[in-house]
Structure 1
Amino acid sequence: MLKFRQISRIVGGLSLAFLVGCHSIYMPNAPATPMLREAGEVYVGGHFNAQGNISGNLALALTDNVGLVANASTVNTGANNNDYFRQWLAEGGIGYFTRIGKDQRQVFEVYMGYGIGNTKDFKQRASVMGYDLVEAREMDFDKIFVQFNYSSTRKKKINIFGDRKELNYGTAIRLSRVGMQKFAVDGVSVTGEENFFIEPLFFTRMQLVNGLQLQYTNGFNIGLNKNEYLKAGNSVFTLGLVYTFGKK
């Protein structure tokens, strides 16, 4: 069987291939992977990448098995670029979590939720005066998602710079339906598109101090519909910090 590190490297390579080869008007966010264990826990996360994608996550364990999640993200590639891309997205959901395994080191979570967002995608061409607009696309969209998380805490801590650190790793699989509510090209309304995405992600966390962890996330998305604009192609490749507090 492939080890987790091998799978993560493969996914990272596929992510880069999707990023280079395709472009979509929709960019997925880094989802919440809170690894909730008991009532009263609060999870806060922040993630970023080189594409200008910044994501924030929040989760709260209402009981020992029921949790709430909220995600928000913003993307801004900057105006001085051939592809000027801006997007914001906000979503929330409710779900179930439980510990599994002999030592209770594994956590399984499932969440369902709804989100809304807006994208502006301007195709530009470099000129002696700067950048000329070639095509302007804008959409308002909504999404419905189901997300499955599986995560585990390494039994033995790792030794880094003479200090023993806890290591966690896991997988998140999102099934999302994204639909355009409004769509315009060069200011003219166009018939909207919808797509169904499968978004597998892998993440690894390393403890920095009690409750605070460094997280690396990578993954990609697969679109089931063949669309011109709303399609797969943008990967999730982020580095971030997560903080969990409020345990019993």
Structure 2
Amino acid sequence: MLKIKNIHLIYCIVLACFLSSCSSIYMPNVPSTPMFKKAGEVYVGGHFNAKGNISANLGAAVSDHIAVIANGSSVNTGANSNDYFRQWLAEGGIGYFTTIGKEKRQVLEMYAGYGVGSSKDHEQRASVYGYELVEAREMNFDKIFLQVNYSSTRKKKINIFGDKKELNYGTAIRLSRVGMKEFWLNEMVSPTEENYFIEPLFFTRMELLNGLQIQYTNGFNIGLNSNEYLKAGNSVFTLGLVYTFGK
């Protein structure tokens, strides 16, 4: 059993390294995972990583089962390296949520939404004069997404430094259609591409204060179309804070 677990761990590490090494003009964001339980709750979140990927989330439960969400993200990496990438993305959605089980420790959410964004991806190489541009890729794009969230709160709280903290685990799975509205290759107008992405994401939250939690998120994307530029390859590993308050 230990050997099997080690093999699975090695496989996950190799997969993560492979996905991180691929080049794509699209970077998935951290989606909203508010995990609402009742009307009147409001959710805010912020996530970041060392590569310059910053995401912000907002959500509100407008009734006992209907909620709205909004997401924004910005990526700014590699100004002085081989990998120069810029992206901004804004999106919003509406959906349904409900609690599951007698103790209401599980939450299920389903959302649909729309977003727009822009990306710049410059391939550069080092030279005696600094970094020289090899190829410049830029696009404006829009996206439509369907998203399912599921989370479960640990029945027993964990003891950290003599204080009991709530811990929960969750999964968000997205099906996103991303399409180029405009595409430029070395500043020349070029044929556009579209792709359908399956974007699984996993998160762990630990309570810090009442309503405030620290969240670790990891995920990746799978592209269903074989494209040259708009393809899968970028993974998501972030650390953030989420805060939920309400009536």
Coarse TM-score class (shorter-chain normalised): over 0.9
Amino acid at match of 1:112: A
> Which consecutive aligned stretches of 4+ in structure 1 deviate over 3 angstroms post-superposition?
8-13
Unaligned runs of 5+ in 2: none
TM-score using structure 2 length:
0.94
How far did residue 130 of structure 1 move? 1.2
Q: 1:158 to 1:50 in 2, by over 3 A?
A: same
Number of the residue aligned with 1:114:
114
TM-score using structure 1 length:
0.94
How far did residue 14 of structure 1 move? 2.6
How far did residue 11 of structure 1 move? 5.2
Q: 1:239 to 1:13 in 2, by over 3 A?
A: farther
* CA–CA distance in structure 2, aligned partners of residues 13 and 208 of structure 1: 32
Asked if structure 2 preserves the Cα contact closer than 8 Å seen for 1:15 and 1:237, the reply is: no
Is 1:17 equivalent to 2:18 in the alignment? yes
Asked if structure 2 preserves the Cα contact closer than 8 Å seen for 1:211 and 1:245, the reply is: yes
* CA–CA distance in structure 2, aligned partners of residues 79 and 239 of structure 1: 22
Number of the residue aligned with 1:166:
166
Number of the residue aligned with 1:32:
32
How far did residue 46 of structure 1 move? 0.4
Amino acid at match of 1:190: S
* Partner deviation per Cα, 1:122-152 (whole Å, 9 max, x = no partner): 1111111211111111000000000000001
Number of the residue aligned with 1:232:
232
Number of the residue aligned with 1:198:
198
Amino acid at match of 2:152: S
Number of the residue aligned with 2:95:
95
Correspondence 1:119-158 to 2 at 5 A:
119-158=119-158
Amino acid at match of 1:18: L
How far did residue 15 of structure 1 move? 2.7
Amino acid at match of 2:218: N
* CA–CA distance in structure 2, aligned partners of residues 140 and 65 of structure 1: 34
* CA–CA distance in structure 1, aligned partners of residues 106 and 86 of structure 2: 37
Q: 1:32 to 1:12 in 2, by over 3 A?
A: farther
Correspondence 1:181-220 to 2 at 5 A:
181-220=181-220
Number of the residue aligned with 1:245:
245
Asked if structure 2 preserves the Cα contact closer than 8 Å seen for 1:49 and 1:239, the reply is: yes
Amino acid at match of 2:117: G
Correspondence 1:66-77 to 2 at 5 A:
66-77=66-77
How many matched pairs? 241
* Partner deviation per Cα, 1:218-237 (whole Å, 9 max, x = no partner): 11100000000000000011
- Residue 88 of structure 1: SS of its match in structure 2? strand
* CA–CA distance in structure 2, aligned partners of residues 90 and 154 of structure 1: 32
* CA–CA distance in structure 2, aligned partners of residues 185 and 81 of structure 1: 20
Backbone CA RMSD of aligned residues: 1.6
Amino acid at match of 2:113: G
- Residue 17 of structure 1: SS of its match in structure 2? helix
- Residue 18 of structure 2: SS of its match in structure 1? helix
Asked if structure 2 preserves the Cα contact closer than 8 Å seen for 1:35 and 1:107, the reply is: yes
How far did residue 79 of structure 1 move? 1.5
- Residue 103 of structure 1: SS of its match in structure 2? coil
* CA–CA distance in structure 1, aligned partners of residues 196 and 13 of structure 2: 22
* CA–CA distance in structure 2, aligned partners of residues 26 and 212 of structure 1: 31
- Residue 20 of structure 2: SS of its match in structure 1? helix
Q: 1:216 to 1:13 in 2, by over 3 A?
A: farther
